[in-house]
Structure 1
Amino acid sequence: MSDSPKPNQWQTLDKDLNKISQLETATAYVSRPLLAPGIAFAFIALTVLLAALFFEASTNSFVVIAAAGFGAYMALNIGANDVANNMGPAVGANALTMGSAIVIAALFESAGALIAGGDVVSTISKGIIDPAGFAETRIFIWAMMAALISSALWVNLATFVGAPVSTTHSVVGGVMGAGIAAAGFSAVNWPTMGAIAASWVISPVLGGVIAAACLAFIKTKIIYQDDKIAAARKWVPVLIGVMAAAFSAYLSLKGLKRIIEIDILTALLIGVVVGAIVYVVSAPLIKRQSEGLENRNKSLKVLFAAPLVISAAMLSFAHGANDVANAVGPLAAIVHASEFGDFSAKVEIPLWVMVIGALGISFGLVLFGPKLIRMVGSQITKLNPMRAYCVALSAAVTVIVASWLGLPVSSTHIAVGGVFGVGFFREWHTERRLRNSRQQRPPEKRIAPEERRRRKLVRRSHFMTIIAAWVITVPAAAAMSALIFIILNTLVV
């Protein structure tokens, strides 16, 4: 008699194997969302471990080690939220894939932080509070720790709900709240806070107006011309030259301060020279690239793709050079106060602190950045290379104008404001063309208000979410920081 399995035994075996396969699939499905937080936690743990090995024999080592961990956590959140503003338009316009955008942003953010990051930073976040108002070093350290924790928590919450917020403003709010809790309202520099509050309005409005004006220029001079290719050969090199001039001046002001101090007039002169050189070089390249292209809008996207990618990389470099130092400022202040036993409005940022910022931003961007990149790039309004180019150009020009006027601005607010400006300009332009076309043909059936709202080119839900997040960033971070300071000061003596 044969010992081979019977048919029903094969069926039982198949069912058991199928159950195991389903269990493996379910396990992979459940564990996949935990991968990114797990890697982030490992990065924070590694930072804490290295800080513990480096500072094990120093005084206040526990404070510095804890601050290093929270600094790594803050850097992860900067990468997850702030960097999306630089890469979102390029990804939304399909000039870059998500993977390429993440690689470029990680490289240029890190390069900006490590090569051109400011070696001296106002760790009291541009004079928000007066260090002399603190009674002792311990109080100052806990205030900076509270500011670091609260700003990181707030940016994390904003990323979770899909709202791009300013990390610099989060740090400002955190420092202000901890300063009030530690030394009273008199410790806060209220005129400076007023200027920062004004930037909430000035940054996005100025960025939006410049982006809309740029798009209007492109539509008038290139898109609506009979011979689009000939118009592009004439004006695209000019626009590339303007972009090069703006970014050269921008990087001179924001990215080279570690090497040499440059005033606004010198930066503008550098921008003009570089812009002229780039125009001379790009004109024959654009002419060669445009040969054989069809006379339609799709062909124009090809000519704007490369400048858009370059502008996104330059925005990332400048962001790494400028904003990262501000974000890790409280960590630098804690390290300085712990090592020297005093506190100062300005301290040198140690190299290892900048490395934490640079690596944390890269990890945060890779692990959590795609959500905000998609939101900025495609969910607010539809972008193509021309519109995204206008957003990038407006970011650089707005910083130059704001620096000339002496106004504190947020790169986040400028970039997102540029996206809104492009979207609202398209709405206005589309409505105007529809009105003109209706005057030349018989009246059509009236569109219901609900349908008109559905046809809007800017998603109002994202608009309201982002504006609300901007408005409450400073007070929310301040309230959280004050509460955290009180807890730290009470529990740790």
Structure 2
Amino acid sequence: MSDKNYEPRHFETLDRDLERLSSLEAGNAFVARRLVAPTLAAAFILLAGLLAAFVMNGTSGALIIVLAAAIGAYMAVNIGANDVANNMGPAVGAKVLSMGGAIGIAIVFESAGALIAGGDVVSTVAKGIVSPASTQSAEIFIEAMMAALFAAALWVNIATWIGAPVSTTHAIVGGVMGAGIAAAGFGAVNWPTMAAIAASWVISPLLGGIIAAGFLWFIKARIIYQPDKIAAARVWVPVLVGIMAGAFSAYLALKGLKKIVKIDFATALGAGLVIGVAVWLILIPVIRRKSRGLENRNKSLKVLFSIPLVVSAAFLSFAHGANDVANAVGPLAAIVHANSTGDYTSAIGIPFWVMLIGAFGISFGLFLFGPKLIRMVGSEITKLNPMRAFCVALSAAITVIVASWLGLPVSSTHIAVGGIFGVGFFREWYAERRLLRAREVVPDRPHHTPSERRQRKLVRRAHMMTIAAAWIVTVPAAALLSGILFFSLRLATG
């Protein structure tokens, strides 16, 4: 073979080999990036265990507390990865906040809510799901709580992996129920409470969706489809923001400030009314000044709703940090208390070092794994703009207040996602209604084929089915996992 023929083939082979090596390097780099977040999460969980070892040094049962602290940290990371998306997703989906800005705001306000207003007294058997008398000893109680916490964390992790926002409260309730049944049988469970929680699967998203759709209808009717949109916005935007301020003030008073001051429902509602009226009056000249020079189109309206949406996301994060941190550290605090005193039937407070694990764990989980669920909630269920996202945020606060008034147990996750679905289905209904009206004016207007009508759907049905299935399965799945883990612990400890 001549050199002339050999040389091109030689270099072609070399080029192919180099191309393979480049692909391999790119693949390794991709795998390495994918492993960064789990590695950092594992490091945090290890640090939580070391913190527990330092605090509990010299006390009996320190190894149990170290293991429980690691599981609590794992749960906190999963709460940050899954639950916080419901607060930040609408603002990111509406392009009011960047992903980095949303994560930054959420970290600050989630941590502040957990450390300032979190740590209210918690029951040793979460929310009265299981009778304290059903557990025969502190040892069995500790094993049941560890199984419940680990099972809830595992289920929330699985839900995050498949892209389903689930209620971490329901996950821990399911975990406690499963461990209680495994420890003492079905009679140990407070079934009326469980029935109320099951009812909230329907009540929470339905209320959230109806209220969000109602506000979107109001904005469309009174602002968007008015001849002079800017003049209408000057009248109604201060009113809507005043309602938001009043709702969030009452919401925070009821749900986010229990540790600082105890406020009954009537007082919280009165405070919210006063603050709402004050904000409405203050914003009248502010909105008038901000709306000067704006063109009479929908894009101009987005400017007026952007800042209230950011503020609402921050408030939701503060209230979430104050409330849901207990899902991660409540069982851990109960384990610490039972291990130290042998008492597992009374209510206990959450130690500060335990609260630190919860607060930083939620922030860590959000930073490392949150973007996936934030994108799904914010942009993959239905398309959001600042007005629609504002309706979702406002619906979340009002629904919690209404549910508290009615004495109904509701999930903030279900409310927020229900609000997004409510907005999307309302848009579908409204678009269909406008199409029918247009056909009345122009009878010869062509009809859409069934295929075209399916393409015009504004809510992704696949996401709706995945999320609904995950909601329904959460309590039984966490309960089953918890029962298996409890029996495993009993076998391991003899």
Taking structure 1 as the reference length, the TM-score comes to 0.95
Deviation at 1:20, TM superposition (A): 6.8
**Alpha-carbon shift at residue 176 of structure 1 (Å):** 0.4
* Whole-angstrom CA distance in 1 between matches of 2:30 and 2:207: 45
Instruction: Provide the residue aligned with 2:7 in structure 1.
Output: none
- The one-letter code of the counterpart of 1:425 is F
Quick check: 1:223–1:297 contact (8 Å CA) kept in 2? yes
| Equivalence for 1:354 | 355
Q: Does 1:403 align with 2:404?
A: yes
The answer to whether the aligner puts 1:261 opposite 2:262 as a matched pair is: yes
Following superposition of structure 1 onto structure 2, how do residues 75-474 of structure 1 map, counting pairs within 5 Å? 75-474=76-475
SS at match of 1:122: coil
**Post-superposition shift, 1:445?**
3.6
In 2, distance between residues paired with 1:15 and 1:453?
46
CA distance in 1, matches of 2:396, 2:75: 24
Deviation at 1:323, TM superposition (A): 1.3
**CA drift at 1:10:** 12
Does the Cα contact within 8 Å between 1:141 and 1:334 map onto a contact in 2?
yes
Distance in 2 (alpha carbons) for counterparts of 1:345 and 1:246: 34
Q: Distance in 2 between matches of 1:33 and 1:197?
A: 37
Question: Which residue is 1:5 aligned to?
Answer: none
Q: 2:84, 2:105 → 1: CA distance?
A: 11
Q: Relative to structure 1, is the Cα distance of residues 287 and 177 closer, same or farther in structure 2, using a 3 angstrom cutoff?
A: same
Contact 1:329-1:349 at 8 Å conserved across structures: yes
Assess if the C-alpha contact under 8 Å between 2:73 and 2:328 holds in 1. Answer: no
Mapped partners of 1:454, 1:122: distance in 2: 50
Q: What is the CA distance between 1:15 and its match in structure 2? A: 9.7
Shift of 1:18: 7.8
Distance 1:444 1:110 in 2: 56
Aligned residues: 488
CA distance in 2, matches of 1:93, 1:78: 23
Give the secondary-structure state (helix, strand or coil) at the position aligned to 1:451.
Answer: helix
Deviations 1:410-447 (A, max 9, x none): 00000000000000000001101101111111334432
Whole-Å separation in 2 of the counterparts to 1:467 and 1:13: 53
Question: 1:113-133 CA distances to partner (integer Å, 9 max, x unpaired)?
Answer: 000003301242211111111
CA distance in 2, matches of 1:16, 1:383: 47
Deviation, 1:17, is: 8.4
Structure 2 residue aligned with 1:6 = none
Residue 215 and residue 341 in structure 1: after superposition, are their counterparts in 2 closer, same or farther (change >3 A)? same
Partner of 2:6: none
> Residue 122 of structure 1 contacts residue 326 of structure 1 at CA under 8 Å; is this kept in 2?
no
Partner SS state of residue 347, structure 1: coil
CA distance in 2, matches of 1:98, 1:154: 25
**C-alpha distance in 2 between matches for 1:32 and 1:144:** 35
Structure 1, 482-491 or 300-309: larger mean CA deviation = 482-491
User: Aligned residue for 1:39?
Assistant: 40
Q: Distance in 1 between matches of 2:469 and 2:62?
A: 39
CA contact (8 A) 2:119 2:355 kept: no
Partner letter of residue 288 of structure 1? Answer: R
Distance, in Å, in 1 between the alignment partners of 2:284 and 2:42 is 49
- Give the counterpart letter for 2:100 in structure 1: G
Partner of 1:69: 70
Alpha-carbon distance in structure 1 between the residues aligned to 2:401 and 2:467? 24
SS at match of 1:165: coil
Taking a change above 3 Å as real, the CA distance of residues 345 and 379 of structure 1, as seen in their structure-2 partners, is: farther
* Aligned-partner Cα distance in 1 for 2:74–2:444: 59
Tell which deviates more after alignment, 324-333 or 335-344: 324-333
- Cα distance change on mapping 1:219 and 1:15 into 2, 3 Å: closer
Deviations 1:142-164 (A, max 9, x none): 10000000000000000000000
Cα contact 1:247–1:396 (8 A) shared by 2: yes
Q: Are the equivalent residues in 1 in contact too, given 2:124–2:344 (CA < 8 A)? A: no
- C-alpha RMSD over aligned residues: 2.0
CA shift, 1:12, in A, is 12
The answer to which of 148-157 and 119-128 deviates more is: 119-128
Distance 1:271 1:23, change over 3 A: same
Q: CA deviation at 1:228?
A: 0.3
Q: CA deviation at 1:27?
A: 2.5
> Does structure 1 conserve the Cα–Cα contact (< 8 Å) formed by 2:208 and 2:419?
yes
Q: CA deviation at 1:455?
A: 1.3
| Superimposed CA distance per residue, residues 19-78 of structure 1 (whole angstroms, 9 cap, x where no aligned partner) | 876654332122111111111111111111222222231111111100000000000000
The alignment partner of 1:397 has SS state of helix
Specify whether residues 273 and 17 from structure 1 end up closer, same or farther in structure 2 by C-alpha distance, changes over 3 A only.
Answer: same
Moved more, 97-106 or 441-450: 441-450
Contact 1:121 1:326 in 2 (8 A): no
**Secondary structure, counterpart of 2:96 in structure 1:** coil
Q: Partners of 2:396 and 2:297 in 1: how far apart? A: 28
1:439 and 1:278 map into 2 onto residues whose CA distance is: 43
Rate the CA distance shift 1:174–1:12 in 2: closer, same or farther, 3 A.
closer
**Any conservation in 1 of the 2:82–2:165 contact (CA below 8 Å)?**
yes
Q: Report deviation, 1:11.
A: 12
Q: Which moved more, 1:29-38 or 1:445-454?
A: 445-454
Say whether the 8 Å CA contact 1:168–1:327 is kept in structure 2: no
**Aligned-residue offset at 1:259:** 1.6
Measured in 1, the distance between the counterparts of 2:488 and 2:27 equals 41
2:21 & 2:463 partners in 1: Cα distance?
43
Hey, what's the Cα distance between the residues in 2 that align with 1:123 and 1:318?
22
Output the CA distance in 2 between the equivalents of 1:327 and 1:390: 29
Change (3 A) 1:13 1:446: closer
CA distance in 1, matches of 2:124, 2:417: 26
Give the deviation of 1:246 after TM superposition: 0.2
Q: Deviations over 1:246-272 (max 9, x none)?
A: 000000001111122111100001101
Letter of the 2:106 counterpart: A
Sequence identity percentage: 68
Contact 2:173-2:475 at 8 Å conserved across structures: yes
**Does the CA-based 8 Å contact 1:391-1:422 persist in structure 2?**
yes
Please list the CA deviations of residues 252-304 of structure 1 after superposition, one character each: whole Å capped at 9, or x if unmatched.
00111112211110000110111111112211111111000000001000000
